[in-house]
């Protein structure tokens, strides 16, 4: 029997909170949260760093990466050259696949990378219009059309995210004006769905697995001349979801005690297969924190809005920002090659951002509290390393791997 769950209200539009400076100072010792959650503290040390391979015409512009959970290698997708490159952790190039185009094995906009247990991998193109599969050694196996852009749910085009048995998981695409309710009621919930084919090959109507909550995820800043600027709410507590083949992991914070984060894993049949709650320290949204966010916005907005005073811009920002009593406990999540879910927070110690890592399927084991450099936007992690991208002194992107070390060891 289906165990569909209502996790509030989500949308598929890619709106994220605006970043702001490190806000909190915390101790580095192992600690326990208000509800008794025990955390072991970890830090990281630099070890790997690599960039372009000009001799093979590989040039990073906006790279994204995934660590292979079955082999000791890193796959890098670059938005600029529309190809996938495979590397050893120390930066030796193994192979390159893809390239710009619409033919088999070519990409117009490569995005997610999904791994198979045999070491093969598939690459999602555009909004899940096509998926291209490769062997473990990079041999092109097939390119399949997952949809033609007309697949809909509730009147909205679908974004297909991950292979799921005989179909794909995904969610409807939407846009900021729809969320804001510019032409009707604000859009406050949307379904994550499973899209499958029937026995005769026709696409069935997508089946909803659960609902997610996105109310108040977008802000619309109105300026004195009635012009507007749409952006993400900096203190949003909207639900988030990430996908692996056949499963979705949802992070929710609404209707929970301050400081609480709930992680829920749902399979393609709609069954809840894992659920875990973390209780972190509740952190009030103070005037000082709000001013810090305002100052960061003003730094780039005032030069472009020179006809208005600082007070006018500040007033417009203040009117559009959502101001909860407590800060959202988390700001993002990553499903990693290690089998852990990493939760990013606003908590920090000195110049280090705090993340919490819990293993999928573990309902009550100790979480890891991991301190990472603020500049490192984590994209994946193995049992031994955390991986991301940093920019060097020439503002060139470099893939970076940092070894994870237990604090005090």
Question: What is the reported pLDDT for 23?
Answer: 40
Question: What is the reported pLDDT for 198?
Answer: 61
- Is residue 13's pLDDT more than 70? no
- Taking the C-alpha atoms of residue 190 and residue 237, their distance in angstroms, rounded to an integer, is 16
- Taking the C-alpha atoms of residue 190 and residue 197, their distance in angstroms, rounded to an integer, is 22
Phi, psi of 303 (to 5 degrees): -60, -30
Question: What is the reported pLDDT for 226?
Answer: 84
Question: What is the reported pLDDT for 201?
Answer: 54
Residues 193-206 pLDDT 10s: 999 876 555 567 89
Most confident of 25-29, 48-52, 349-353, 401-405: 401-405
CB 149 within 8 A of CB 157: yes
- Is residue 14's pLDDT more than 60? no
- Taking the C-alpha atoms of residue 9 and residue 190, their distance in angstroms, rounded to an integer, is 6
Which CATH architecture does the domain made up of 5-406 adopt?
6 Propeller (2.120)
- Taking the C-alpha atoms of residue 199 and residue 10, their distance in angstroms, rounded to an integer, is 31
Burial class (CB in 10 A: 0-12, 13-18, 19+), 183: exposed
- Taking the C-alpha atoms of residue 323 and residue 183, their distance in angstroms, rounded to an integer, is 25
- Is residue 11's pLDDT more than 50? no
- Taking the C-alpha atoms of residue 248 and residue 250, their distance in angstroms, rounded to an integer, is 6
CB 37 within 8 A of CB 356: no
Choose between 167 and 335: higher pLDDT. 335
- Taking the C-alpha atoms of residue 3 and residue 205, their distance in angstroms, rounded to an integer, is 19
- Is residue 7's pLDDT more than 50? no
Range 89-101 average pLDDT: 94
Average pLDDT, the chain: 87
- Is residue 10's pLDDT more than 90? no
- Is residue 183's pLDDT more than 90? no
Range 377-399 average pLDDT: 93
- Taking the C-alpha atoms of residue 403 and residue 114, their distance in angstroms, rounded to an integer, is 24
CB 13 within 8 A of CB 244: no
**Residue partners of 389: CB distance under 8 A and separation at least 6:** 63, 64, 65, 377, 379, 397, 398, 399, 400
pLDDT-based confidence at residue 165 (cuts at 50, 70, 90):
confident
- Taking the C-alpha atoms of residue 357 and residue 263, their distance in angstroms, rounded to an integer, is 11
- Is residue 75's pLDDT more than 90? yes
Question: What is the reported pLDDT for 37?
Answer: 60
Choose between 3 and 132: higher pLDDT. 132
| Total-model pTM | 0.88
Residue spans of the domains in the chain: they are 5-406
Residues 253-272 pLDDT 10s: 999 999 999 999 999 999 99
Range 95-120 average pLDDT: 92
- Is residue 288's pLDDT more than 80? yes
Range 122-133 average pLDDT: 92
Range 267-286 average pLDDT: 95
Residues 312-345 pLDDT 10s: 999 999 999 999 999 999 999 999 999 999 999 9
Range 134-145 average pLDDT: 94
The tokens of 99 are what? 């390239």
Question: What is the reported pLDDT for 202?
Answer: 58
């Amino acid at each position: 029997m289906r165990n569909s769950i209502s996790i509030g209200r989500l949308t598929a539009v890619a709106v994220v909170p605006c970043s702001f400076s490190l806000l909190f100072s915390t101790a580095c010792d192992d600690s326990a949260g208000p509800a008794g959650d025990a955390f072991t503290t970890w830090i990281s040390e630099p070890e790997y760093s690599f960039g372009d391979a000009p001799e093979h015409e590989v040039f990073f512009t906006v790279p994204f990466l995934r660590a292979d959970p079955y082999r000791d290698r890193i796959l890098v997708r670059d938005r600029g050259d529309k190809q996938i490159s495979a590397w050893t952790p120390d930066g030796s190039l193994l192979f390159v696949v893809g390239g710009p185009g619409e033919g088999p094995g070519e990409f117009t906009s490569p995005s997610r990378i999904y791994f198979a247990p045999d070491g093969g991998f598939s690459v999602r193109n555009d909004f899940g219009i096509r998926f291209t599969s490769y062997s473990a050694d990079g041999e092109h196996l097939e390119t399949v059309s997952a949809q033609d852009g007309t697949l809909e749910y509730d009147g909205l085009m679908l974004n297909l995210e991950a292979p799921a048995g005989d179909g794909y998981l995904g969610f409807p695409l939407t846009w900021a004006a729809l969320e804001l309710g510019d032409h009707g009621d604000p859009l406050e919930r949307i379904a994550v769905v499973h899209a499958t084919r029937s026995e005769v090959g026709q696409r069935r109507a997508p089946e909803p697995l659960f609902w997610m909550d996105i109310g108040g995820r977008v802000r619309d800043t109105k300026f004195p001349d009635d012009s507007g600027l749409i952006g993400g709410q900096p203190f949003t507590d909207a639900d988030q979801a990430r996908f692996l083949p056949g499963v979705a992991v949802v992070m929710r914070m609404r209707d929970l005690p301050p400081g609480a984060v709930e992680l829920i894993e749902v399979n393609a049949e709609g069954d809840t297969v894992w659920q875990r709650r973390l209780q972190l320290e509740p952190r009030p949204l103070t005037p000082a924190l709000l001013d810090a966010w305002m100052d960061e916005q003003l730094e780039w907005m005032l030069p472009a809005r020179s006809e208005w005073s600082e007070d006018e811009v500040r007033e417009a920002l203040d009117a559009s920002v959502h101001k909860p009593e407590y800060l959202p406990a988390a700001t993002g999540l990553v499903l990693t090659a290690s089998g852990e879910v990493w939760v990013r927070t606003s908590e920090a110690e000195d110049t280090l951002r705090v993340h919490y890592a819990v293993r999928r399927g573990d309902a009550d084991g100790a979480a890891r509290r991991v301190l990472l450099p603020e500049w490192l936007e984590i994209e994946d992690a193995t049992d031994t390393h955390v991986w991301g991208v940093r920019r060097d002194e020439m503002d060139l992107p470099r893939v970076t791997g940092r070894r994870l070390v237990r604090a005090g060891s």
